Chains A and B, each alone.
Chain A
Amino acid sequence: MNKIWLVIKREYLTRVKNKTFLLSTILLPLVMVLFIAGSIFFAAKPEDKKRIAVEDKKGELTKFLKSDTSKMEFVFSQGVDTSNFAEKRFDGFLYSVDSSGRHFLLKTVKAASNETMDRLKNRLNSAYVSSRLLEKNITIEQIDSINTASSSYYTVDNTDEKNQNVNAAINTGIGFISGIIIYITMFIFGAMVMRGVMEEKTTRIAEVVISSVKPFQLMMGKIIGIGAVGLTQLLLWIILIFTISTIAFTFLPPDILQQVQDIQNNRAMMTSNPGQFSEAAKGIANLTNMNWPLIIGCFLFYFIGGYLFYSSLFAAIGSVVNEDPQEAQSLMFPIMMPIVFGFIILSTNIDRPDAPAMIWASIIPFTSPIVMMGRLASSPPFWQLALSMVSLIVGFILTTWIAAKIYRTGILLYGKKPTWREMIKWVRRS
């Protein structure tokens, strides 16, 4: 036990004393805070107005497809086609290619957002409704007045008990960012473990050290030591980010600060008029109102769990390859796959935290460290969180056990890289 502690100490100190460690520890929080500030800024900023040229072969749309001043402007001009709309300073060109005239294509310079597409579809369909109404002898004036009145006649707010007043975008944003951080750190520190093992093998120091400590002690010492480096870095980041954001708050305009306070005070009866608060104030209020202890607690748990789960596998890979980094890459591939897969599930389903794919991926330990972070903001059921945590713990005990067997043989083996079949044999034997 004493020896494993010595190994941990060496692994930790040689890395923490390194200058690049210091540099990256300070730079990343700065980038993060800028990123968050930027996303709040852009969330508050309305989308640009889109100018769309429309080719109306049947002449049905001209009368009813109306520009609205803030979001979309429709222009029915001749001589515009798919090749020259950009030159004529349009953002998009809407045209129909099928005979029924009901299926439109929108050609754009930049890809149109889902929001834009939805809005466009709604506008086209309401234009159709208007034209049908006109056929039923209702005047254009009547239609217009109904349309204008109806657009804000009913309003809907989500008052889910758990998520009251919580801005879903910021919530998922936090989950997404922490998922990404776990994803990146798993790669960074996993690769660090692998390189460390490779270094020990190629410089043949392993030969020397293995005669004093058991291979398992050497491997676990390295994993824990580097994990402690990662944890140190994350904790420093969290502290720095909180400090920087606290400082940043003092630079906010006083009226926004006032609004933040109002929101916090009125939280229980936020019914009066949500429109009176700016988006930025709402965002900040939500940030300060998040369940930070739960998020940070889970973040640390999933970081440690995910790291332990994968780093021992990375160590096993490092132990079987020789100097050639390409050998390592081909072996790393199957281990990186589930990590990347988890990231893909997270990024495609971030707005649907209760989708079956998300639930499964947040429980299976191969992907849970990344995916569960993305679900945390939407308060998943307790049993799912508990099951996910337990299976992660069981998972890393299992991967460590397997990796230790491969490592023990691999670290002293030179020459040809073993095949998967041989490695499985090492695990099975004894």
Chain B
Amino acid sequence: MSLLEVRNLKKYFATQKAVDDISFDVSKGSIFGLLGPNGAGKTTLIRMITGIFYPDEGQITFDGKKFDPINDVVHIGYMPEERGLYKKMKIGEQAVYLAQLKGLRKADAMAKIKEWFIKFEMQSWWSKKVEDLSKGMSQKLQFVTTVLHEPKLIILDEPFSGLDPVNSNLIKDEIYKLALRGSTIIFSTHRMEQVEEICDHIILVNKGKKILDGSVKGVKNQFKENLFSIGFEEIPADLNGNPPFEMVGTKDHGYVVKIKEGFIPNDVLNYFLQQGARVISFNEILPSLSDIFIKLVEGTPLTRQFQAINA
């Protein structure tokens, strides 16, 4: 069951087709990765989902109904990439204010904030001002204010920027917990290793269009190049006959090979066993998301060019 369905969404600006006919589904309770190079249209897409922009064309369905920005925004928590807080305001007051804007009553907001502050060991921050906080500290505060009202949909744009590994893990654990409790999370980042680790499902957008859609595992399989790494006790001296693979590289006590068309991994093992080599490991090498990302985006200009739009 999908929490969010996006159909044929379009948003054209004066000089850019920022989002050009994008559709996707986000299923309930999943962690969804929204990937793309800088200027691909991710922020515009997110702004339409959060009701900040009206799409030029297309439909958004939120929780089974047509998306209604005015009433549905209270069920959405959005942490933008460009984010900030009122510098001169006390942290506790600020968190209460932002929670109230999301429709929480003051007393409820206070109780929830205290709970989160204890969880993140931020109790002593209450009457400090934001300008007293380090970047990482304000990042944590920002995360708390985003998820405080227990939204059905949480959108996190680069949530780990500026966080040390310890705090990153802390937030990561909370993201998992929120997903387990039924929240749906859209996660937008450039850090592919995090996507691989966290996300169930990803889409990749480039130049306003969706160019990839699938589960992390599915995508990796889709882009696999039949590469295997083989480890030996002692590297075979030379490769006789007609091996069912091509040599891609060597490493300590092993080779990286690419299986030729028409062969299966067993053929490779058979070949080496017949050679009398003693195999100690045999692994498929799947491409990393980072490789896939680069492969798909490479060749397109790093920054989008301006173009005249007649819409």
* Chain A interface residues toward B at CB < 8 A: 3, 6-7, 10, 14, 199, 202-205, 207-214, 412, 414, 425
Q: A211-B76, A211-B78, A212-B98 are in contact. Are A205 and B52 (CB under 8 A)?
A: no
| Chain A residue contacts of B100, Cβ below 8 A | 6
Question: How far apart are A210's CB and chain B's nearest CB, in angstroms?
Answer: 5
Q: List 30 A-B contacts (CB under 8 A).
A: A3-B101, A6-B97, A6-B100, A10-B89, A10-B97, A14-B89, A203-B84, A203-B87, A204-B80, A204-B82, A205-B84, A205-B85, A205-B86, A207-B80, A207-B82, A207-B84, A208-B78, A208-B79, A208-B84, A208-B85, A211-B50, A211-B76, A211-B78, A212-B73, A212-B74, A212-B101, A212-B102, A214-B70, A414-B82, A425-B14
Q: A204-B80, A208-B80, A212-B102 are in contact. Are A412 and B85 (CB under 8 A)?
A: no
B83 interface hit (Cβ, 8 Å): yes
Question: How far apart are B47's CB and chain A's nearest CB, in angstroms?
Answer: 7
A210 touches B52 (CB 8 A): yes
| Chain B residue contacts of A214, Cβ below 8 A | 70
Q: Which of A10, A14, A208, A213 contacts B83 (CB 8 A)?
A: A208
Complex CA–CA separation, A120 to B51 (angstroms): 75
B88 interface hit (Cβ, 8 Å): yes
| Chain B positions 87-132 with a Cβ under 8 Å from a chain A Cβ | 87-89, 97-98, 100-102
Complex CA–CA separation, A110 to B86 (angstroms): 53
| Chain A residue contacts of B85, Cβ below 8 A | 203, 205, 208
| Chain A residue contacts of B73, Cβ below 8 A | 211-212
Residue of B nearest to A206 (CB): B84
Question: How far apart are A425's CB and chain B's nearest CB, in angstroms?
Answer: 8
Question: How far apart are B156's CB and chain A's nearest CB, in angstroms?
Answer: 12
Residue of A nearest to B81 (CB): A207
Q: Which applies to chain A's interface (DSSP): helix, strand, loop or mixed?
A: helix
Complex CA–CA separation, A370 to B82 (angstroms): 41
| Chain B residue contacts of A14, Cβ below 8 A | 86, 88-89
Residue of B nearest to A413 (CB): B13
Question: How far apart are A156's CB and chain B's nearest CB, in angstroms?
Answer: 62
| Chain B residue contacts of A203, Cβ below 8 A | 84-87
B97 touches A211 (CB 8 A): no
- The count of chain B contact residues (Cβ–Cβ below 8 Å) is 27
Complex CA–CA separation, A204 to B85 (angstroms): 7
A208 touches B52 (CB 8 A): no
Q: Which of A199, A204, A213, A425 contacts B101 (CB 8 A)?
A: A213
**Interface centre among A199, A204, A211, by most B CB within 10 Å?**
A211
| Chain B residue contacts of A202, Cβ below 8 A | 84
B80 touches A211 (CB 8 A): yes
Complex CA–CA separation, A334 to B84 (angstroms): 31
| Chain A residue contacts of B98, Cβ below 8 A | 208-209, 212
Shortest Cβ-Cβ A-B pairs, 9 listed: A204-B84, A203-B84, A212-B101, A207-B80, A211-B78, A204-B82, A205-B84, A211-B50, A6-B100
Residue of A nearest to B142 (CB): A208
| Chain A residue contacts of B97, Cβ below 8 A | 6, 10
Known: A207-B82, A209-B101, A211-B51; 8 extra A-B contacts, CB below 8 A, are A6-B97, A6-B100, A203-B85, A203-B86, A205-B84, A207-B83, A208-B83, A211-B52
Complex CA–CA separation, A352 to B87 (angstroms): 50
Complex CA–CA separation, A212 to B101 (angstroms): 6
Complex CA–CA separation, A414 to B51 (angstroms): 19
Residue of B nearest to A207 (CB): B80
Complex CA–CA separation, A209 to B94 (angstroms): 11
| Chain B residue contacts of A414, Cβ below 8 A | 82
Complex CA–CA separation, A91 to B74 (angstroms): 77
| Chain B residue contacts of A210, Cβ below 8 A | 52
**Interface centre among B51, B87, B100, by most A CB within 10 Å?**
B100
| Chain A residue contacts of B51, Cβ below 8 A | 211
| Chain A residue contacts of B86, Cβ below 8 A | 14, 199, 203, 205
Residue of B nearest to A429 (CB): B14
Question: How far apart are B54's CB and chain A's nearest CB, in angstroms?
Answer: 9
Complex CA–CA separation, A10 to B14 (angstroms): 35
| Chain A residue contacts of B76, Cβ below 8 A | 211
Question: How far apart are A196's CB and chain B's nearest CB, in angstroms?
Answer: 10
| Chain A residue contacts of B52, Cβ below 8 A | 210-211, 412
Complex CA–CA separation, A110 to B70 (angstroms): 67
Residue of B nearest to A212 (CB): B101
A204 touches B88 (CB 8 A): no
| Chain B positions 53-83 with a Cβ under 8 Å from a chain A Cβ | 70, 73-74, 76, 78-80, 82-83
A412 touches B47 (CB 8 A): yes
Complex CA–CA separation, A214 to B53 (angstroms): 10
Complex CA–CA separation, A209 to B79 (angstroms): 10
| Chain A residue contacts of B14, Cβ below 8 A | 425
B84 touches A6 (CB 8 A): no
Residue of A nearest to B87 (CB): A203
